[in-house]
Copies of this chain bind each other. A is one copy, B any other.
Amino acid sequence: MKNHRQTFQQDNKNRGRLLITCPDQPGIVAAISQFLSHHEANIIESSQYSTNPEGGVFFIRIEFECPDLESKKNVMREEFDTIARKFSMDWKLFFVQELKRAAIFVSKELHCLRELLLEWESGDLMADIPLVISNHPDAKDFVESFGIPFVHVPANKNNRQEAEQQQLKLLEEHDIDVIILARYMQILTSGFVEAYAEKIINIHHSFLPAFVGAKPYDRAFDRGVKIIGATSHYVTNDLDEGPIIEQDVKRVNHRDQVEDLKKNGKIIERSVLVRAVKWHIDDRIIVHENKTIVF
């Protein structure tokens, strides 16, 4: 991982990303691209979307390459603020070299954790992972074999508040940007969720909105569905109702018992979660009114 990280940061030292949401009107793209052109930035990738060309909401993601970006960071932020005010923009400017810091929460099912760490190790999931937190000790050895600290916080229904205090302290200490719930089987309190709004990514083991809540595979089996699914979404205070980032499905048949659905489901869960996390880390997602725009 260390070499991958270094190479990536070197390769991306002049790479920036702009994510913008604002009321639609003519001239937005012109203003942004002039700003970038003025700083000698070359637009590498640009995607935009309007809910409605006549008076809707406008979204854009621009990835650019800008010589000497390091030295221009502050100036660019300041100058762009003027444009942003003019167009009432909600905006974020990311410098790709500054890696996101992710904490993974896990319980006893380790397939999603494994996939995340293997992708991380091979350099395909480019973030820093300062710690893994679990309410069970099972994953300890596996996590530590990657050189990542593992913290056992024995959270359960009865000690939710105290456990979250400890977790929040850890998250702050490690300056965490994004929390990945890799089949973490505890419900978070509303205070916790609000502290990390649009920054907690969950994987739900069903094709939402089918089978919200507990034991989705058992219920899928009982209903006799012919396709099962998994859904990655941002966590909000409505259980399994947050903005959907990604979904995928797999065909099953009458021979598949609940155990088979679970095994097949694991394969979808891990790939759906990893895709969602990568999009988040690549600043590809804008949340708008309980939906996601994924550029």
Contact = CB atoms under 8 A, between A and B. Distances in A.
Contacts of A34: 30, 33-34
Nearest to A233: B224
A41 B26 contact: yes
Interface in A1-60: 24-30, 32-34, 36-37, 40-50, 53
A211 B207 CA distance: 12
A156 to B, nearest CB: 25
Interface stretch (A78-86, A163-171, A195-203, A248-256): A248-256
A208 interface: yes
A145 B144 CA distance: 13
A267 B26 CA distance: 36
Nearest to A39: B26
Contact of A229 (B44, B227, B271): B227
Interface stretch (A88-96, A98-106, A132-140, A239-247): A239-247
A227 B247 contact: yes
Contacts of A145: 145
Interface in A174-204: none
B207 A224 contact: no
Interface residues of A, number: 60
Interface in A193-245: 207-211, 223-227, 229, 243-245
Nearest to A293: B254
B47 A26 contact: no
A217 to B, nearest CB: 14
A209 B227 contact: no
Contacts of A47: 46-47
A30 B36 contact: yes
B254 A225 contact: no
A280 interface: no
Contacts of A152: none
Contact of A33 (B33, B49, B245): B33
Contacts of A294: 253-254
A25 to B, nearest CB: 7
B25 A42 contact: yes
15 contacts: A26-B37, A29-B37, A30-B34, A32-B33, A44-B50, A45-B49, A46-B47, A145-B145, A207-B207, A209-B210, A224-B292, A225-B247, A227-B229, A249-B249, A267-B271
Interface of A: 24-30, 32-34, 36-37, 40-50, 53, 65, 111, 114, 118, 122, 124, 145, 207-211, 223-227, 229, 243-249, 253-255, 263, 267, 271, 290-294
Given A43-B48, A45-B50, A227-B248, 16 more contacts: A26-B36, A29-B43, A30-B34, A32-B33, A33-B33, A34-B34, A42-B53, A124-B263, A207-B227, A209-B211, A209-B223, A224-B291, A224-B292, A249-B249, A254-B291, A254-B293
